[in-house]
Structure 1
């Protein structure tokens, strides 16, 4: 887990070395050395955490490295801030020529023992390098095992879980609640009259009941009578191909002389032993495609209806299994099925009186249809007196985790299997409230602003969306709403959210203030880098009392405090501010221009009337979202914000200079005058455009928009003007979403030939929606 933090800091150090080369000229060698040392540490941290995390010395070792990594980021961020505060209001580009002279001035100020200055960064980085060396020396002093070798033995948690999977795979539930439709579908696939061998892949969240469902199929009389040979093997995360082959062979009762055979010999033995037989093999809990790829050659194509069943949490593994694969996504239990399972596990206790029935219903609903959670909850409550149910209801997730190591370990395995690039992205989801509908556009832009997404030749938002889909495919996020083929909103199951919160607490990732439930939902350290507020009149004073100078993000879901943004300017290292739930007029203070690290500023629905000129000092700003019912007055020279990627607001009635914003991906909602005076060919990355057209004398045409080759979403809002032909939009081959409000004489006869990728079309006439169609 700490590998996620260290890799994140290593990437930021690399970005600094590239982007701030002139500033770091005097200490470049020290920064490069620090980066290299952290890269070496990163090679060993993952193995150390997995293999020896029960060792207190190892835990302390990785914690020390985590703290040093955080301190590296702090030193560089404070260095850049101090440079701007000490030296100038000029742009960075104008300083490069005088950098040597400036450093001489800094050295002179150091000699006079005045306030801290830029020259001290060399000393601070030197101290960080020294601390890293001390951590390494201390590990050798206390006899920690060499991290570059395979460490002996599994951790206790993984070992117990591995044994648990082996001993329970063949256990048969007497009565499986729910999944009748899934059982019928899958049984038909197993028994259908198709002589070809094919794979049935079942995927879904850990604890959803994949193994239980397959166990039911495996033991059915119809399956037993169809297949001459049946075998079951659990793969799990830590597997060995030779061990898997031996276990499969022993399941078929072929045990002669196999213990000394090599992997290739075992494959040949199994292949020959199955020739001429119809067989069913269950390969349970597959984590990566190479596991099945390594086994596939051992199963002959007998043309007698043989089948292989694979269960996995990963959609990609399920789809990749074989050229002939039936992929089945296992659903969550319905409300009635969840209640039936709960009642069974509590022996009907929930129906004894109305009070228990209500408490039971509420707790079962919190389980979100996850069978493992319901089973653990039922088992927990079945041993408790009626008066204790209310207490469990108040601490349901804590009690579920403490009541079953299986549920905690099963979910933690999904997290541990993530590449380090995805770990912080997943943990970040823990700051959202329970059952919150997460806007994916917002999540992706926050990931980018937080520095979780690497900067390379690919557009970062595309990388972030790919990360989102991978978390969905790994069953860690649930898709909620889609539009034009893309995920628009998503959710996190409460158990997985709780997992994210617990792990984020260990990394000191964010602090959640909720006056209703208490403020200890996550890290309570004063140095926590992200402050999240759910509710409470005391939240404002809470932030001031903590006064954390290292705060990087402030996210508010419900707070009524007009001068909250003025308070934000006290935290000079802020990278992200989201006040989209502050539902009244906000004033953007001039001081906001001092937040030079700020990349993400969202004040949606906050009725901003005026944006000060000082905002043009935010040279790192990527997202500015001030969409509301008002029309905020913007500085005309918005083009100075060269890093701007998403600009959203109601900019009706004003002209904005956006010509040279080549990174811009979102621009809405702009006046038609801005469109007419902008060389759109320069906006090579623009994907989403919203236009407001007020010229009642003219027909609106799409000729200029046709220059936007990468446009995906277009919204045009007219008063009562007619639209011209849509034909020019044929040059926008990637256009998927089109919304038009105004009078249009007629649509092209073959819409799909003009816009072949269009998936969502919305037409409004006189502000009334008359047609809404999906292609």
Structure 2
């Protein structure tokens, strides 16, 4: 694998050459030669990347190539943007006026490219000085060393196990089921969650040993060797003799498969495949070497990748290992830090600091085991434990044997673009709940998805990457949308530490989290978690930043001195929650490569006209609570704009937005600008939010939007203080599948809805009449969410809700009873009831809903929870009480 960052940047540089060739005619030869130089370097990096962790000289050499690759991309893109700005869509007179400027810029870029090529030649020549010659030849790679550390055996079973009792029972029961077919049980979870520990406990369980007299255990690992795996299993099934060993060494792959198949044929066997990384590894073993007869045989696999488990047996639900709860974490910590035994008691003077240390491990058994082992060797003094607590990350990283290997392997197995996605998460503060939508916009702005297809598909590809990281247990889903998409995510502290370490080493990424830190002059990605005392620290260092993000920085107006001329390479600028005063400096227009700009809750009052120069801008977020942002008429110039988020926008003249063919999201615009623009020209528009008042003619609006074929989601907000207008004409919106109505005192529901509506949200409408008789007529409705939407004491759900899969009733403060007719809601999968303070009990009909998989009760009273009937609770597979 070549260095992931350099590979991505070289790919992007090649794509850039193709996209901007019309603006690079005068320097095309130099640019192509530069691309060839970088490509040659990338081929050499395939070996160098494997040894970066072992050799500082190689690490420095790779870093020099990476910096050159970044500079190459910046040089080409900055030059192309200048020429494009002065020539695109300009008249002949303007082109002639700026022709001398173009010639000057061509000369400058030519000189810069030649300088960069000389730099690359010097880097190539320096290999011999560093002693870098035949990389990879006769050497053990860092990855192979990690694999050796990771090898597992069923013999060394950990006696200090906490929190696995129920899952052990479930797995043993699954293995012992009366099913003659060969079945697969699986355990999935992040590295260090205890998958192997649990598998050992099951493998050595007395009932399992009694049932399967033919058992084998093999650690498959990420560097899968099919021959070696087959040999390992055969050795466990036969007496070890020199004859057998010689024979196995001489056998080819097919012969080994046949031998194993015969050894297991007609036997009731159990095979544990520990640490399976790839679907291909499973296919090689399961389909060729393990008989699938009628002997009630079983396979148990562990994996960090949920997709591998599902692929192995789609009918078997994987057992997902979550992190330990607070009390289980504490009990495991006591056993590891104070010595073996179930009766370990913590000295009273150590309990407070001990619980804090256990909490820092965030429920990961691996971290608790490592830190506990370190403390076991120390004196039982409060000062010693506080030293570990105050330097938690440093102590943990010192123990790089098993802990480091397990987490490092997860990272090493990621494809290049997923590595970048993962380390980018390290920029966010510890324990952050991260908006997936925001993350996707940032990744797309970074150009990671450039090779995946048309622009409209980049967001889809980015969301797929979020799911891939979650399925690999590198990222945890924190919140889900009603249609079961990941809405928010978080990263376990230990994985975040890994991301930061890799980011600093490989990605020129820096986190500024103390006031006295200096900003590195080499930083490309910078997250500011704390502002220094020097208000001019950005000016003095002026690093070549591509991303600049601020977190938890409030009321520091005097300390932030952003000279935008110093940040012309920025692609991402996130100033969310930074109170900047009233206006954004007009110098923002100098940051021509900017693709993502968030000014959310910055309290700005006006956007300068120079924002119209940001022709590459994809995402503009100017949501400010309770404050209108004033703009001049430049939005239509942002031709690359995909997402515009506002709370309230004001313009001195009718705001022009038509012609933005890339625009996908337009949130909370006022009614009049929508009606004054030809919305049909917004050919990519998918989500639209509009403020309406008592004067708004909804019927005309729907007619206006009826030809916008890409529109899927419409959100209507009622402005404060006014009444709802007549909500008529919605049936004209054939393309809309998701409708949200927000605002107080909607007198009655509309008589017609979009005919293909599948998702409906009613928020703050405070209807007087039960809405269900109207809503039951929506034949395709699958998701219904009602929040503070109805003020009556009772709702009645009839049998006409044929398709409804998700129902949320939230903050219905007057609701006392839910009636469900017999046979109603045949498709319902999830019922969520949140903060309905007067609701007395659940409807009896829930007991008979075979489709109901999850019942979520959030912020409900203690009396309501204690009054739940046992048979009601037992009838739902997943009861979640928050």
TM over 0.5: yes
Matching of residues 151-170 of structure 1 within 5 Å: 151-155=137-141, 157-166=142-151, 168-170=153-155
Q: Does 1:285 align with 2:275?
A: yes
**TM-fit CA distance, 1:171:** 1.1
Q: Does 1:209 align with 2:194?
A: yes
**TM-fit CA distance, 1:95:** 8.0
Q: After superposition, what is the alpha-carbon deviation per residue over 1:413-454, rounded to whole angstroms, capped at 9, x for unaligned?
A: 111111111111111111111111111111111112222221
Query: In the alignment, which residue of structure 2 is the partner of 1:610?
Result: 606
How many angstroms apart in 1 are the aligned matches of 2:115 and 2:44?
22
**TM-fit CA distance, 1:102:** 5.9
Query: In the alignment, which residue of structure 2 is the partner of 1:625?
Result: 621
Query: In the alignment, which residue of structure 1 is the partner of 2:795?
Result: none
**TM-fit CA distance, 1:299:** 0.8
Contact 1:282 1:310 in 2 (8 A): yes
Q: After superposition, what is the alpha-carbon deviation per residue over 1:703-750, rounded to whole angstroms, capped at 9, x for unaligned?
A: 44444444444321124224535752762365386656652633679x
Q: Find the residue that maps to 2:238 and give its secondary structure.
A: coil
Query: In the alignment, which residue of structure 2 is the partner of 1:19?
Result: 19
Q: Does 1:393 align with 2:395?
A: no
How many angstroms apart in 1 are the aligned matches of 2:787 and 2:185?
48
Query: In the alignment, which residue of structure 2 is the partner of 1:50?
Result: 50
**TM-fit CA distance, 1:509:** 2.5
User: Does the C-alpha gap of structure 1 residues 185 and 419 become closer, same or farther in structure 2, counting only changes over 3 Å?
Assistant: same
**More deviation in 380-389 or 489-498?**
380-389
How many angstroms apart in 2 are the aligned matches of 1:105 and 1:626?
34
**More deviation in 682-691 or 258-267?**
682-691
**More deviation in 160-169 or 479-488?**
160-169
Q: Does 1:66 align with 2:66?
A: yes
Q: After superposition, what is the alpha-carbon deviation per residue over 1:84-140, rounded to whole angstroms, capped at 9, x for unaligned?
A: 8xxxx7463428998799666666x6xxxxxxx541322322233343344444446
User: Does the C-alpha gap of structure 1 residues 34 and 355 become closer, same or farther in structure 2, counting only changes over 3 Å?
Assistant: farther
**TM-fit CA distance, 1:554:** 4.0
Query: In the alignment, which residue of structure 2 is the partner of 1:36?
Result: 36
**More deviation in 384-393 or 134-143?**
134-143
Query: In the alignment, which residue of structure 1 is the partner of 2:533?
Result: 538
Instruction: Give the counterpart of 2:647 among 647, 650, 669.
Output: 650
Query: In the alignment, which residue of structure 2 is the partner of 1:112?
Result: none
Instruction: Give the counterpart of 1:326 among 317, 322, 330.
Output: 317
How many angstroms apart in 2 are the aligned matches of 1:539 and 1:347?
46
Q: Find the residue that maps to 1:601 and give its secondary structure.
A: strand
User: Does the C-alpha gap of structure 1 residues 570 and 441 become closer, same or farther in structure 2, counting only changes over 3 Å?
Assistant: same
How many angstroms apart in 1 are the aligned matches of 2:532 and 2:132?
49
How many angstroms apart in 1 are the aligned matches of 2:663 and 2:157?
57
Instruction: Give the counterpart of 1:312 among 303, 311, 325.
Output: 303
Q: TM-score, normalised by structure 1?
A: 0.90
Matching of residues 127-526 of structure 1 within 5 Å: 127-139=115-127, 144=132, 146=134, 151-155=137-141, 157-166=142-151, 168-253=153-238, 256=244, 257-296=247-286, 297-347=288-338, 352-385=346-379, 386=381, 387-454=383-450, 456-457=453-454, 459-484=457-482, 485-515=484-514, 519=517, 525-526=520-521
Q: After superposition, what is the alpha-carbon deviation per residue over 1:492-545, rounded to whole angstroms, capped at 9, x for unaligned?
A: 1111111111111113532222236x537xxx5312123322134626433233
Matching of residues 675-686 of structure 1 within 5 Å: 675-686=674-685
How many angstroms apart in 2 are the aligned matches of 1:95 and 1:153?
62
How many angstroms apart in 1 are the aligned matches of 2:10 and 2:145?
34
How many angstroms apart in 2 are the aligned matches of 1:722 and 1:142?
75
Contact 1:529 1:550 in 2 (8 A): yes
User: Does the C-alpha gap of structure 1 residues 704 and 364 become closer, same or farther in structure 2, counting only changes over 3 Å?
Assistant: farther
Q: Find the residue that maps to 1:495 and give its secondary structure.
A: helix
Please, which runs of 5 or more residues in structure 2 have no aligned partner?
Answer: 768-785, 791-807, 810-829, 832-882
Matching of residues 596-607 of structure 1 within 5 Å: 596-607=592-603
How many angstroms apart in 2 are the aligned matches of 1:243 and 1:738?
61
Q: Find the residue that maps to 2:191 and give its secondary structure.
A: coil
Q: Find the residue that maps to 1:535 and give its secondary structure.
A: coil
How many angstroms apart in 2 are the aligned matches of 1:52 and 1:566?
35
Query: In the alignment, which residue of structure 2 is the partner of 1:714?
Result: 714
The one of the two structures with greater contact order (alpha-carbon pairs below 8 A, sep at least 6) is 1
Query: In the alignment, which residue of structure 2 is the partner of 1:672?
Result: 671
Contact 1:200 1:307 in 2 (8 A): yes
Contact 1:723 1:745 in 2 (8 A): no
Query: In the alignment, which residue of structure 2 is the partner of 1:553?
Result: 548
How many angstroms apart in 1 are the aligned matches of 2:149 and 2:89?
61
Query: In the alignment, which residue of structure 2 is the partner of 1:113?
Result: none
Contact 1:2 1:63 in 2 (8 A): no
**TM-fit CA distance, 1:54:** 2.3
Query: In the alignment, which residue of structure 1 is the partner of 2:855?
Result: none
Q: Find the residue that maps to 1:217 and give its secondary structure.
A: helix
Q: Find the residue that maps to 2:319 and give its secondary structure.
A: strand
How many angstroms apart in 1 are the aligned matches of 2:657 and 2:561?
26
Q: Find the residue that maps to 1:765 and give its secondary structure.
A: coil
Contact 1:702 1:724 in 2 (8 A): no
How many angstroms apart in 2 are the aligned matches of 1:481 and 1:121?
47
Q: Find the residue that maps to 1:320 and give its secondary structure.
A: helix
How many angstroms apart in 1 are the aligned matches of 2:5 and 2:400?
29
Query: In the alignment, which residue of structure 1 is the partner of 2:844?
Result: none
Contact 2:629 2:650 in 1 (8 A): no
How many angstroms apart in 2 are the aligned matches of 1:277 and 1:566?
72
How many angstroms apart in 2 are the aligned matches of 1:566 and 1:239?
51
Contact 1:562 1:586 in 2 (8 A): no
Q: TM-score, normalised by structure 2?
A: 0.79
Q: After superposition, what is the alpha-carbon deviation per residue over 1:233-252, rounded to whole angstroms, capped at 9, x for unaligned?
A: 10111121011011011111
How many angstroms apart in 2 are the aligned matches of 1:372 and 1:768?
41
How many angstroms apart in 1 are the aligned matches of 2:70 and 2:634?
36
Q: After superposition, what is the alpha-carbon deviation per residue over 1:441-495, rounded to whole angstroms, capped at 9, x for unaligned?
A: 1111111222222153252211111111111111111110111322121111111
User: Does the C-alpha gap of structure 1 residues 723 and 32 become closer, same or farther in structure 2, counting only changes over 3 Å?
Assistant: farther
**TM-fit CA distance, 1:649:** 1.1
User: Does the C-alpha gap of structure 1 residues 588 and 565 become closer, same or farther in structure 2, counting only changes over 3 Å?
Assistant: farther
Q: Find the residue that maps to 1:75 and give its secondary structure.
A: helix
**TM-fit CA distance, 1:187:** 1.2
Contact 2:183 2:297 in 1 (8 A): yes
Superposition RMSD on alpha carbons, in Å?
3.1
Q: How many residues align?
A: 754
**TM-fit CA distance, 1:666:** 1.1
Query: In the alignment, which residue of structure 1 is the partner of 2:850?
Result: none
**TM-fit CA distance, 1:44:** 4.1
Matching of residues 751-766 of structure 1 within 5 Å: 754-756=756-758, 758=759, 762=763, 764-765=765-766
User: Does the C-alpha gap of structure 1 residues 474 and 652 become closer, same or farther in structure 2, counting only changes over 3 Å?
Assistant: same
Q: Find the residue that maps to 2:274 and give its secondary structure.
A: strand
Q: Find the residue that maps to 1:512 and give its secondary structure.
A: strand
**TM-fit CA distance, 1:197:** 0.6
How many angstroms apart in 2 are the aligned matches of 1:359 and 1:70?
45
How many angstroms apart in 2 are the aligned matches of 1:407 and 1:332?
16
**TM-fit CA distance, 1:345:** 0.6
How many angstroms apart in 2 are the aligned matches of 1:545 and 1:360?
43
**More deviation in 19-28 or 620-629?**
19-28
User: Does the C-alpha gap of structure 1 residues 736 and 417 become closer, same or farther in structure 2, counting only changes over 3 Å?
Assistant: farther
